[in-house]
Amino acid sequence: MDFYKVGHKDIMKKKLLAIATSWLGIGGLFIRLRRLFKKEVIILAYHRILDTHDDESYLFDEELISANSDAFLWQINFLKKHYDVISFAELSQRLASNKPLTGRELIITFDDGFSDNYSNAYRLLDSVDIPAVFYISTGYIGADKTFWFNEVVHAIKVAKKLSFSIADTTYDFEPSKKNKEKAIQLVLNQLKEIPNSERLNAIESLYRELDFRAYAIPASELPMTWENINEMASNNMEIGSHAVSHPILSRLTDEEMQQEIIDSKNTIETMTKKVCRTIAYPVGGRNAFTEKVQKISETAGYEYGLSYISGNNKANALNKYSLARLHVERYTSNEEFKLMLYLPEIF
């Protein structure tokens, strides 16, 4: 997951540009020109494919929904037609063979490991016959709970009162929809700044203050199972690490950092009987992974480390432990999706 929200103005600008490029009919030209002048490896970042509407009855984090099934199917058909959709295993092989890349290489990635990655994303990818890489936080797989960041949003959405303290500041809001949105942003932003042990305590005390109790988790909010993952791993999909407990790696002690990075790799390899080549750092912004995180990942045997920093990767100078990705969001229209691929610089 990421905690970075796009401003409304930004969204409008992209929508207008997308309409303009589509109206001018110059999209295909952009793709060809880019390939001529820039050899890039494009990596797309998704979280969830869910057919939930943007309505108030959805009581979890809608920001994690990257697309609904129809939009995703349109996107992967477009990618199949215009790009060479590959896995990291294939990328490594191409690089090792010393053949120049075509500039059409594109990798689809999913973060976290929600059950819809299997029931929706994998089903659609399989129908179109293209691979993707799924980054899973191993401690959640098969568990009867949802991811902590999703649960925090849920706790705020269902709260009857909205007074709580976080990072030594006390807030007292009327529990309106708008204030809840503000509180969600504020709490998630604070939680990514503090050390891991404090984060766990802060969440516990937040739940106490909001009077949040045990609840029935809808099946759609659960993580995948190992059975799901093994089926995917044996059918064209690659499984990567998203650490064990989805912590912010830079906020861990050295020992915890090692554990999260190494244990998740070992678990994935034991369960899937395949090499776990890559790691996507949880949250993934500039402050979420340090040089040390990159170093430990390299020493642990990962071939690549993925950030959540927006951008493209130069094929001949890959920043192997800080790869950039382009984010697909639930409000990304088909035209914007194309524009993001034509002109990633503005995204």
Q: What residues make contact with Zn ion under the rule CB under 5 A? A: 1, 111-112, 282
Shortest Cβ distance from residue 159 to Zn ion (Å)? Answer: 23
Distance between CA atoms of residues 120 and 127, nearest Å: 11
Cβ-based nearer residue to Zn ion, 282 or 305 = 282
β-strand pairing of 40-46 with 313-314: antiparallel
| Shortest separation between residue 129's beta carbon and Zn ion, angstroms | 27
CA 23, CA 40: separation in Å to the nearest integer?
Answer: 26
Query: What's the min distance (Å) between Cβ of 80 and Zn ion?
Result: 26
Q: Cβ of residue 137: shortest distance to Zn ion, in angstroms? A: 7
CB of 287 to Zn ion, least distance (A): 15
* Minimum distance from residue 132 beta carbon to Zn ion (Å): 15
Amino acid, res. 145 = K
**Can you name the residues that pair with 133 across neighbouring β-strands?**
109, 238
For residues 1 and 124, which CB has a smaller minimum distance to Zn ion in the complex? Answer: 1
For Zn ion, which residue has the nearest CB? 1
User: Helix (H, G, I), strand (E, B), or coil: what is residue 142?
Assistant: coil
The whole-angstrom separation of Cα 151 and Cα 200 is: 13
Closer by beta carbon to Zn ion, 73 or else 288: 288
* Min separation Cβ 1 and Zn ion, Å: 4
Residues 6+ apart with CB under 8 A from 200: none
Query: Is 148 or 337 the residue whose CB approaches Zn ion more closely?
Result: 148
**Whose Cβ is closer to Zn ion: residue 1's or residue 206's?**
1
111 vs 151, which CB is nearer to Zn ion?
111
Annotate 34-57 with b (16+ C-beta within 10 A) or e (fewer).
beeeebbbbbbbbbbbbeeeeeee
Interhelix angle 148-157/196-210, rounded to 10 degrees, is 20
Q: What's the CA gap between 133 and 22, in Å, rounded?
A: 30
Confirm if 200 and 14 have CB atoms less than 8 A apart: no
Q: What length is written for the chain?
A: 347
Specify the residue, 14 or 325, whose C-beta has the smaller distance to Zn ion: 325
